[in-house]
Structure 1
Amino acid sequence: MSLPSSLRRRLPVAGAVIAVAALALTACSSGGSASVPGGTSSSGSDAAVSAVFKDAPVAADSLIIPDSTMAKIKARGKLIVGEALDAPLLSQQDPTDPTSVTGFDADLAKLLAIYILGEPNVEIVPPASETREALLANGTVDVVFNTYTITEERATQVDFAGPYFSSGLAVAVKSDNKDIKGIDDLGGKTVIVGANTPAVTEVPAQQPTATLLTFGTDPQAVQALVQGRGDAYVQDYTLLASDALANDGMKVVGQPFTTEPYGIGLKHGDADFKSFVNNWLLEIQKGGQWGQAWKNSLGTVVDSDIPTPPAIGSVPGS
């Protein structure tokens, strides 16, 4: 997103804020059932939701260093997250219940809140792809879960924990298009891309005769594709899959043609918090919560086993 790297995701009103009120997850350590703030999982199964948060790790007091970002979040009583509200399978707000935000990124954000606070108290600030760095730099958000592709250039402005997931750019076309099968067929075509996503540079690198048509949000790009304003839409495979699931006017063709490691955006220069978040990632991978979160969201539309998480610090910029 740059799901894309971006994916996403950006609400038309980027300043909108939603507080996901949370009850204490007493079941996190006991294994009992609990009402999970933020709504049910993408599958709608209470049992599946419980599996994500069951026995979720909580950081030892010794890890909450005095005067650290972790300590400030704990004192505040909530984790403030840059996260989309319009990204199916990743971070999707329920239109009938604005406090319910579900998906892979949403569940990971709640798991991080549990690790720091003992309960999933999350406040969401929907970012535009071009505002994520500023939201971190000025302290508006503590972290960004937004299919935020790790690059060395971005790493000069923000720190990245992770990578926590790896996707890649892929191609979507109108559902009745039988001519375009993937990136190799985009020469001379009008290709829709998201602003400030890897597609902006990757498409011209692979197809220099393609003409780019740029949009600031994923919904705008999807609408342009379905309306026939472009021949194809290049975006993160996972985001395109969720878009196609919700819109029978488009389909994903071929396989991803790049590898995009998603990182958790953090304020630049906060080494203690980066180490803390990386350790948390290892904990939820080992404990099975990472895999269950994937299974309940992206795994509902992807025909494969739970993927192996990418190694922490395995890409330049992480």
Structure 2
Amino acid sequence: MSVISKRGRLPVAGAVVAAFALALTACSSGGSDLVPGEGGSTGDAAETSAVFENAPVADDELILPGSTMEAIKERGTLVVAEALDAPLLSQQDPTNPDSVTGFDADLAKLLAIYILGEPNVEIVPPASETREALLANGTADVVFNTYTITEERAEQVSFAGPYFNSGLAVAVKSDNDDIKGIDDLGGKTVIVGANTPAVTAVPEEQPTAELIDFAADPQAVQALLQGRGDAYVQDYTLLASAAAANDDIKVVGQPFTTEPYGIGLKHADEDFKQFINDWLVKIQEGGQWGAAWEASLGTVVESDIPTPPAIGSVPGS
């Protein structure tokens, strides 16, 4: 099947140009049915098993008559607007198109398990400018796509969550054990991206830091590797992606600014929003949220599992 992996090339909603059914059963080495608690198709088997181990399944009475949950259950798949080219978040395996892994991808599978009892997910790769339309016209049930919650966006869509806090974070060379996060950057040479929030945020946190800026992320990463700066400050997920591609880089600590990611839903679908928020609490308390982080972003971040943001804690959620 044809799948468009460039987010900017997906036509505006109306026609589903690229969608495919993602069932972990198709990817497992034995070809057997995957149920919560069994191994999956990608990554370390123990890590994958931990993500789905004892994954909650909604009681029948929570699937309200006439609700979005009931429509999804009757269809047998959860349709998710999700990237295919976002390392550690949702990335397609070029050798196995049915395999999409990462933090967002695993959460989408966990939500499918909660509704359907199995991880049946159909992916529609979105562009940033098409996410609202995909929800409004019913092409997608949910959006997992580093979708920052804002009050302006909340006028067009509803947001469950937030389910993750991104923001500016710190990366260093892998052999640097002195810098643990933003608190250690006083007096250091800090690489930032030109015209990014780091240009003003770093001096606010560390006035004695010396900044050098680069126009593009690859240039900044190369400068860090060359030792032209002690650390690189950029968006957490971008740094994690760079670290995943290069063993000589690691992310230290957690973000020191806040960019809350939400799960996009059709506007004013309050029953579905409450259903997903309740599910988020369950996977946080049950350990699946933390296991998904450890198996993805946590593989390149030198810190403990972060505390999930409180549900409804930001304007627009």
TM-score when scaled to structure 2? 0.74
Which residue, out of 13, 16, 19, partners 2:21? Answer: 19
TM-aligned CA deviation for residue 317 of structure 1: 0.7
Rounded Cα–Cα distance in structure 2 between residues aligned with 1:252 and 1:291: 17
Rounded Cα–Cα distance in structure 1 between residues aligned with 2:96 and 2:70: 31
Does structure 2 retain, via aligned residues, the 8 Å contact 1:136–1:142?
yes
Query: Which amino acid in structure 1 is aligned with residue 81 of structure 2?
Result: G
Question: Aligned residue pairs: how many?
Answer: 274
What RMSD over aligned residues (CA atoms) do the two structures have, in Å? 3.4
Does structure 2 retain, via aligned residues, the 8 Å contact 1:136–1:266?
yes
Rounded Cα–Cα distance in structure 1 between residues aligned with 2:291 and 2:153: 29
Based on CA coordinates, which of the two structures has the bigger radius of gyration? 2
Rounded Cα–Cα distance in structure 2 between residues aligned with 1:116 and 1:254: 34
TM-score when scaled to structure 1? 0.74
Give the corresponding residue for 1:277: 276
TM-aligned CA deviation for residue 222 of structure 1: 4.6
TM-aligned CA deviation for residue 243 of structure 1: 2.4
Give the corresponding residue for 1:181: 190
Rounded Cα–Cα distance in structure 2 between residues aligned with 1:211 and 1:182: 6
Please give the per-residue CA displacement for 1:58-117, whole angstroms capped at 9, x wherever unaligned: 101101011110011111110010111111111111111110111111000000000000
Query: Which amino acid in structure 2 is aligned with residue 136 of structure 1?
Result: L
Does structure 2 retain, via aligned residues, the 8 Å contact 1:25–1:120?
no
Rounded Cα–Cα distance in structure 1 between residues aligned with 2:276 and 2:65: 16
Give the corresponding residue for 1:86: 85
Rounded Cα–Cα distance in structure 2 between residues aligned with 1:292 and 1:227: 31
- CA change 1:25–1:265 in 2 (3 A) is farther
TM-aligned CA deviation for residue 236 of structure 1: 2.4
Query: Which amino acid in structure 2 is aligned with residue 56 of structure 1?
Result: A
2:147 partner SS: strand
Give the corresponding residue for 1:61: 60
TM-aligned CA deviation for residue 269 of structure 1: 0.6
Give the corresponding residue for 1:218: none
TM-aligned CA deviation for residue 225 of structure 1: 6.2
Does structure 1 retain, via aligned residues, the 8 Å contact 2:191–2:233?
no
Please give the per-residue CA displacement for 1:187-221, whole angstroms capped at 9, x wherever unaligned: xxx44x6xxxxx6xx868999xx9997xxxxxxx6
Greater alpha carbon shift after TM alignment, 239-248 vs 116-125? 239-248
Does structure 2 retain, via aligned residues, the 8 Å contact 1:182–1:253?
no
TM-aligned CA deviation for residue 240 of structure 1: 2.2
Rounded Cα–Cα distance in structure 1 between residues aligned with 2:93 and 2:220: 25
Q: How does 1:217-236 map to 2 (within 5 A)?
A: 222=217, 236=235
Structure with the larger RCO, 1 or 2 (CA within 8 Å, 6+ apart):
1
TM-aligned CA deviation for residue 13 of structure 1: 3.5
Does structure 2 retain, via aligned residues, the 8 Å contact 1:182–1:254?
no
Q: How does 1:164-179 map to 2 (within 5 A)?
A: 164-170=163-169
TM-aligned CA deviation for residue 244 of structure 1: 3.7
Rounded Cα–Cα distance in structure 1 between residues aligned with 2:65 and 2:92: 34
1:123 partner SS: strand
Q: How does 1:157-168 map to 2 (within 5 A)?
A: 157-168=156-167
Unpaired segments ≥5 residues, structure 1: 1-8, 174-178, 194-198, 214-220
Query: Which amino acid in structure 2 is aligned with residue 11 of structure 1?
Result: R
1:146 partner SS: coil
Does structure 1 retain, via aligned residues, the 8 Å contact 2:214–2:220?
no
Give the corresponding residue for 1:74: 73
- CA change 1:309–1:250 in 2 (3 A) is closer
Query: Which amino acid in structure 1 is aligned with residue 7 of structure 2?
Result: L
Give the corresponding residue for 1:134: 133
Give the corresponding residue for 2:151: 152
- CA change 1:285–1:252 in 2 (3 A) is closer
TM-aligned CA deviation for residue 303 of structure 1: 1.2
Rounded Cα–Cα distance in structure 1 between residues aligned with 2:253 and 2:102: 24
Identity value in percent: 70
Please give the per-residue CA displacement for 1:246-292, whole angstroms capped at 9, x wherever unaligned: 15898879984521111111111100000000000011111111111
Rounded Cα–Cα distance in structure 2 between residues aligned with 1:58 and 1:268: 25
Rounded Cα–Cα distance in structure 1 between residues aligned with 2:201 and 2:46: 46
Does structure 2 retain, via aligned residues, the 8 Å contact 1:160–1:274?
yes
- CA change 1:13–1:205 in 2 (3 A) is same
Query: Which amino acid in structure 2 is aligned with residue 153 of structure 1?
Result: E
Does structure 2 retain, via aligned residues, the 8 Å contact 1:182–1:255?
no
TM-aligned CA deviation for residue 239 of structure 1: 2.6
Q: Would you identify which runs of 4 or more consecutive aligned residues in structure 1 move more than 4 Å?
A: 170-173, 202-207, 210-213, 221-228, 247-257
1:122 partner SS: strand
Rounded Cα–Cα distance in structure 1 between residues aligned with 2:306 and 2:201: 29
- CA change 1:172–1:52 in 2 (3 A) is closer
